[in-house]
Structure 1
Amino acid sequence: MTHLEVKKAMGNKYTFILTSVLITALISRAINNIILTLSPVIAKFEYHIPLEDLGLTESLVLVSIIISMFSVNLIYSKKILILSFLFLSISLILLNINNLNIFFISLILAGLSFGVIIPSMTTIASSIANEQNVNTKLLKIYNIGLSLGAVVSTILEAISTRLGVISLLLIILSMINIYNIYFYYYKFYSSSNNLILSLKVLFNRKLWIANLISLPYDIPIAFINVYLALLAKYYYHLNVSLGFLYFFTYLIVSFLSRYFIYKYNTNEENMKLYSMVLTIGGSMLLMIGNPIYLLIGIILLGIPHGLLLPLSNLVIAREFKDVKEKNLVNSVNLFFHYIIFIIVPLIIGLFINISIFYGILTFIILSVSSSLLLLFIKLN
């Protein structure tokens, strides 16, 4: 085989991997978002859980993710990953059963599954190829897939809530999830079944830079995931399905931002600065109880949502090369994300119990404070 034929064969191989990483990221993020954003709606309208307690539904999923992420996930095993995809499909089916106890069980099962799936997929996306430049490209494609999945999930949520076919949506997603099982069964290679915990990794400076970069990403999405659709109804006087379409706009802007940095290799310091300014501006606009200002605020917040997660992932990918270390680091980074996802809705829920306005004001204070931290972060 000539050098040109070898190069072409390698290109075809990585084209399949790039496409599959994009598709699997899309599917997994769509399911993740649908569970996190539809479960509060189901809890409110099917089981009549009070508005101020809805953060508990997301927290149940996120606590389960954390438990799983720092137990079975650290084994870094193909069998455990495949079983996690299977249990995720089962959890989607269980959500269709109109029983409060089974509803909570399905959320726990989904969380335990995601605790393995999300860090493993991130690690694989940045490690599957032998060439570092290919792995960097895979990681960027993976992040684009996450954005696309978020966009697709929002469209599906808007349609399913409008037409009343949420059960059908959940069953279809459980079947589509089979593609993830197929791809990772053939492409996931684990070199060891030993747990790995390293203080050197846990206290690495770049890991905590990546965590702090994520804060202005985490706080707005934690707020939006739980409260946007419902605040659209109770504060901005829109219907719930339109609230999902505002979320769709937010995610479209995020996707376009990630595609832009993939296409044009944007300067990372500029990404950080733009994110700070736009997060502050977008957060402030949400205080105004007007749908137009809500739309503008959502668009402004969507840009840093698209910039900050890839920036955080790139910091980790450049610093850590060993696959087992990288899996641990991705788990710690995701743990940081999910702690914020748990705490922020609960804090905001306390103030929403006083007044919806105070709940939004609390979000603004948290979001602006986290954005100002970016001024003090040095990427190199």
Structure 2
Amino acid sequence: MWTVIILLAFTFMARASNNMIQTTVPLIAREYFNATEAEIGLLSSVISVSSFIATMWVNARLDSVKRRILFEASTLLYFLIFIIYPFVNYIGLWLTSVAVGFLLGIIMPNVATSSSIIGKDQGTRERVIALYTFALSLSLTIGPIIESIILRYFTLRDAFLFFSVFSAVMVALSPKLPFPAEKPGGVRFKLSSIWGKASFRIAIYNNAMYSLPFAMLTAFGGIYAIEYFHADNSLVYLLFAAFFTTSFATRLYISIRPIRDVKYASISMSILTIVGMVVMTLSPNMYAYAVALAILGIPHGLTYPLSLIVISRDSRDDERNIMNSAFSSIMTIIGILSPIALGISAELLGLRYMTIIVEASVVFFTWLLYRSLRELNPNVLLAKNTPNLAR
């Protein structure tokens, strides 16, 4: 029980502070250094690229002993960066952003791996995974509220000092997180062999299927509401509340009633994504648009935990880090490319027709997902005797 509590506390602190950096660094670049839109976009991409390098080429190639040392050292350096951020100049802002991206590329995949090895049976492990993703959602809800209160009385730079408390807690908890047992030097990263697993491809297709809709909502969802329904800024945030509320509720539900049937959950997620996108495209008014966002929140809450569960069911403890690292790396690449593709589509076709492109991508990845589901081991596809907190 204490291990689960430590995991959830660490997850909350890590994701809340991570989100704070991602949303505050662009504002500092604009307010303090008069950065252009292109520079701000590149700065955000630098964090993602640095994270990808750390996950793909460092974390995935280390055995458990070396990875734990690097993990604990990364949390300490992560804390120090929060102390440094308020005092950096423009060049320092770029350097610290590269560093923080690298550190998060070490920290976050290991937390995901820890969530998938707690518990003596698979059912318990899947419930912990659901609780882990629930903590992620909770941090994205509470973190911005905390920062909003801080910014009423302090500057953007000062906010980093307040959030350094979060990273300090991470330093204290990092030695207590479980790591899978591996033979030193016995782990080798081979993407070709990992891709041969149907479970890994399903995890990728699940997230790829939802990556464009989510990128569209975060980058253009508010602009869409303003342009087509004349919403004001206050109403835009209220609309996003509908999206995150259903996402949050979905993760809470699967924490209580864990996912048993991977095929049913995957196909349901795909159908809900397509329905939500169609409702958005055809929305005649603000109310229909809000319904579309609420529908799309359900697969958002399901996508990531489902992918982790599939990987967990079809991998040994000593394989888990490699698969999670490869999974995180590929998702980072998709996360970098998606906004670029959407921006080009919106520029050429307009926002409403851009949604049709997104729907086509959902259908394409659903087809790939269905093909891989047919190859999945029946024991992985359907969990037996999965425990249930509702009983």
- Within the alignment, does 1:302 sit opposite 2:325 as a pair? no
Distance 1:368 1:156 in 2: 38
**Farther-moved stretch of structure 1 (90-99 vs 173-182):** 90-99
Distance 1:355 1:89 in 2: 44
Name the counterpart of 2:333: 339
- Within the alignment, does 1:207 sit opposite 2:200 as a pair? yes
**Farther-moved stretch of structure 1 (182-191 vs 202-211):** 182-191
Name the counterpart of 1:172: 162
- Within the alignment, does 1:196 sit opposite 2:191 as a pair? no
The equivalent position to 2:128 in structure 1, one of 126, 138, 141, is 138
The amino acid across from 1:310 in the alignment is: P
**CA shift in 2, pair 1:186/1:265, >3 Å:** closer
The amino acid across from 1:184 in the alignment is: S
Distance 1:86 1:123 in 2: 20
Task: State the shift of 1:314 in Å.
Answer: 0.9
Tell me, what secondary structure is at the counterpart of 1:177? helix
Name the counterpart of 1:59: 45
Deviations 1:28-70 (A, max 9, x none): 2222333334444555565555557754333222111110012
**CA shift in 2, pair 1:201/1:52, >3 Å:** same
Distance 2:365 2:239 in 1: 23
Task: State the shift of 1:176 in Å.
Answer: 1.4
The amino acid across from 1:134 in the alignment is: T
Distance 1:160 1:240 in 2: 21
The amino acid across from 1:252 in the alignment is: T
Taking the TM superposition and a 5 Å limit, the aligned residue runs for 1:140-289 are 140-156=130-146, 165-189=155-179, 191-194=182-185, 196-198=188-190, 199-228=192-221, 237-238=230-231, 243-266=236-259, 267-287=261-281
- Given that 2:14 and 2:166 are in contact with CA atoms closer than 8 Å, whether structure 1 keeps it comes out as no
The amino acid across from 2:3 in the alignment is: I
- Report the count of equivalent residues: 365
Tell me, what secondary structure is at the counterpart of 1:300? helix
Structure 2 length-normalised TM: 0.80
The CA RMSD over aligned residues, in Å, is 3.3
- Within the alignment, does 1:20 sit opposite 2:11 as a pair? no
Tell me, what secondary structure is at the counterpart of 1:197? coil
Task: State the shift of 1:280 in Å.
Answer: 1.6
Deviations 1:117-147 (A, max 9, x none): 1111111121244444433332222121112
Distance 2:290 2:29 in 1: 26
Task: State the shift of 1:255 in Å.
Answer: 1.7
Task: State the shift of 1:233 in Å.
Answer: 6.1
The equivalent position to 2:103 in structure 1, one of 110, 113, 124, is 113
Structure 2 spans left out of the alignment, 5+ residues: 382-391
Distance 2:119 2:154 in 1: 43
Task: State the shift of 1:209 in Å.
Answer: 1.7
Task: State the shift of 1:84 in Å.
Answer: 1.6
Task: State the shift of 1:343 in Å.
Answer: 0.5
**CA shift in 2, pair 1:72/1:153, >3 Å:** same
Distance 1:245 1:161 in 2: 20
- Within the alignment, does 1:70 sit opposite 2:56 as a pair? yes
- Given that 1:213 and 1:374 are in contact with CA atoms closer than 8 Å, whether structure 2 keeps it comes out as yes
Distance 2:111 2:160 in 1: 22
**CA shift in 2, pair 1:228/1:253, >3 Å:** same
Distance 1:286 1:348 in 2: 16
Task: State the shift of 1:219 in Å.
Answer: 2.5
The amino acid across from 1:118 in the alignment is: M
- Given that 2:133 and 2:251 are in contact with CA atoms closer than 8 Å, whether structure 1 keeps it comes out as yes
Name the counterpart of 1:123: 113
- Given that 2:130 and 2:258 are in contact with CA atoms closer than 8 Å, whether structure 1 keeps it comes out as no
Taking the TM superposition and a 5 Å limit, the aligned residue runs for 1:317-332 are 317-323=312-318, 325-332=319-326
**CA shift in 2, pair 1:245/1:101, >3 Å:** farther
**Farther-moved stretch of structure 1 (57-66 vs 370-379):** 370-379
**Farther-moved stretch of structure 1 (183-192 vs 233-242):** 233-242
- Given that 2:279 and 2:292 are in contact with CA atoms closer than 8 Å, whether structure 1 keeps it comes out as yes
Deviations 1:97-118 (A, max 9, x none): 4743233223212210111111
Tell me, what secondary structure is at the counterpart of 1:265? coil
Structure 1 length-normalised TM: 0.82
The amino acid across from 2:136 in the alignment is: L
Taking the TM superposition and a 5 Å limit, the aligned residue runs for 1:94-113 are 94-97=84-87, 99-113=89-103
Distance 1:237 1:43 in 2: 29
Tell me, what secondary structure is at the counterpart of 2:107? helix
**CA shift in 2, pair 1:375/1:104, >3 Å:** same
